[in-house]
C-alpha cells in the first residue's frame, strides 16, 4: 500500500510537534525514520495510525485516513509500540490471536488459528508460555506477532529492536525485509542507525519536527548524520556491513 503525507502538522498541548511534513512511501518499501530524541519520529508514526488529531493529509492508496473507520483501518495498519506493559496472564498464542479481532465473525475459526501459528513460527515465539513471564525481548517479538496476525498492508513499528539482543535484532530485521519484499509496506523508527542503513530501502532523517531529507542508505554519510544529530559520527564499511560510530575526538573531548 502506498502512503502519501502532505503538509502534515501535529500540535499537542499547545506545542507544534510536527510541521510541514511531506513524504511519499511506496508499496512494499522498508522505510526507516531516524533522528534525535524529540525530533518527532514517534509522533509521525502515530499520526499515520490516526492516533492524533492533525492538520494536513495522510493518504492510504489515495484514501484520506480520516475517512476510514477504525475497524477497516485495523485491517490495513498493524502497529507495534515502543513502550508496553504486558503484565497479562494469557498464553502467547491467545494474546497473538487478538490480532485477528478485525476479521472475526465466528470466533476462533480454523483460518484465524492458521494465521496465528504461522506468525508465531516465523518469529520463533514461545506459543504456550504466559505473556507476563516473558523477557523484554520476547514480549517485543510477541507484539510484532500480534500486529502481523492482523495481516496488515502497512506495518508501523516504533523502535522494533530496542529490547532485543543482537541475534534477535538481525532476525527481526531480516523478517521485516522479507515481508516488505513480498509487498508489505514497513515503516519503522530506529535509534540504531547501523540497522537502518543496512536494511531499509530509504530513510527519513528528522529534526525539530520536520523531515530534513529522505535518502537511500548509500547516500547517507557522516556529514548528513552529523547535521541531523548535532554530533560528529562516521559511517564505516566493515566488510559489507556499514556501521555508524562516533568520531574518536568527540569522545575524547567530552571525557
Segment among 26-35, 83-92, 177-186 with least mean pLDDT: 83-92
Q: Is residue 197 part of a domain?
A: yes
pLDDT tier, 208 (very low <50, low <70, confident <90, very high otherwise): very high
Residue 103 has pLDDT above 80, yes or no: no
- Tens digits of per-residue pLDDT, 178-187? 999 999 999 9
pLDDT at 77: 95
The answer to whether position 158 is within a domain reads yes
Give the CA radius of gyration of the chain. 19
Q: What is the pLDDT of residue 162?
A: 84
Strands (E), 36-148: 55-60, 63-64, 77-80
In a domain, 122, yes or no: no
pLDDT at 137: 83
Q: Quick one: cell of 252?
A: 575524547
Other beta carbons within 10 Å of 34: 26
Pairing between β-strand 233-238 and β-strand 210-215 as defined by DSSP bridges: unpaired
User: pLDDT tens digits, residue range 34-48?
Assistant: 999 999 999 999 999
Q: Is residue 9 part of a domain?
A: yes
Residue 141 in any domain: the answer is no
What pLDDT band is residue 211 in, cutting at 50, 70 and 90?
A: very high
The total number of structural domains that make up the chain: 1
Query: What CATH number does residue 209 fall under?
Result: 3.40.50.300
* 125 belongs to a structural domain: no
pLDDT number for residue 164? 86
- For 148-188, the DSSP string reads HHT--SEEEEESTTTT--HHHHHHHHHHHHHHHHTT-EEEE
Q: Which pLDDT score, from 0 to 100, does residue 105 have?
A: 60
- pLDDT reported for residue 201: 98
Q: Is the pLDDT of residue 254 over 90?
A: no
Q: What is the pLDDT of residue 71?
A: 86
Q: What is the pLDDT of residues 138-149, one digit of tens each?
A: 888 899 999 999
Start-to-end CA span in the chain (Å):
47
Distances (CA, A) of 231 to 13, 117, 171: 29, 44, 29
The answer as to whether 166 is a domain residue is: yes
Residue range of the domain that includes 19: 3-86+153-220
pTM: 0.91
Amino acid at each position: 500500500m502506498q502512503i502519501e503525507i502532505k503538509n502534515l502538522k501535529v500540535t499537542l498541548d499547545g506545542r507544534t510537534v510536527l510541521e510541514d511534513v511531506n513524504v511519499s512511501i511506496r508499496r512494499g518499501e522498508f522505510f526507516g525514520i531516524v533522528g534525535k530524541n524529540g525530533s518527532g519520529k514517534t509522533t509521525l508514526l502515530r499520526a499515520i495510525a490516526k492516533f492524533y488529531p492533525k492538520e494536513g493529509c495522510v493518504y492510504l492508496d489515495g484514501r484520506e485516513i480520516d475517512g476510514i473507520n477504525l475497524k477497516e483501518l485495523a485491517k490495513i495498519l498493524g502497529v507495534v509500540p515502543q513502550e508496553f506493559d504486558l503484565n497479562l496472564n494469557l498464553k502467547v498464542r491467545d494474546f497473538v490471536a487478538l490480532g485477528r479481532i478485525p476479521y472475526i465473525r465466528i470466533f476462533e475459526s480454523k483460518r484465524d488459528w492458521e494465521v496465528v501459528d504461522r506468525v508465531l513460527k516465523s518469529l520463533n515465539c514461545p506459543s504456550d508460555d504466559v505473556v507476563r513471564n516473558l523477557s523484554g525481548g520476547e514480549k517485543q517479538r510477541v507484539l510484532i506477532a500480534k500486529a502481523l496476525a492482523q495481516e496488515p498492508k502497512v506495518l508501523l513499528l516504533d523502535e522494533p529492536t530496542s529490547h532485543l539482543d543482537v541475534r534477535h535484532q538481525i532476525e527481526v530485521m531480516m523478517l521485516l525485509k522479507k515481508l516488505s519484499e513480498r509487498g508489505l509496506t514497513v515503516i519503522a523508527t530506529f535509534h540504531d542507525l547501523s540497522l537502518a542503513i543496512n536494511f531499509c530501502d530509504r530513510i527519513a532523517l528528522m529534526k525539530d519536527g520536520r523531515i530534513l531529507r529522505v535518502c537511500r542508505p548509500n547516500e547517507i554519510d557522516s556529514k548528513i548524520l552529523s547535521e541531523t544529530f548535532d554530533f560528529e559520527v562516521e559511517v564505516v564499511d566493515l566488510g559489507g556491513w556499514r556501521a555508524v560510530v562516533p568520531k574518536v575526538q568527540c569522545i575524547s573531548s567530552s571525557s
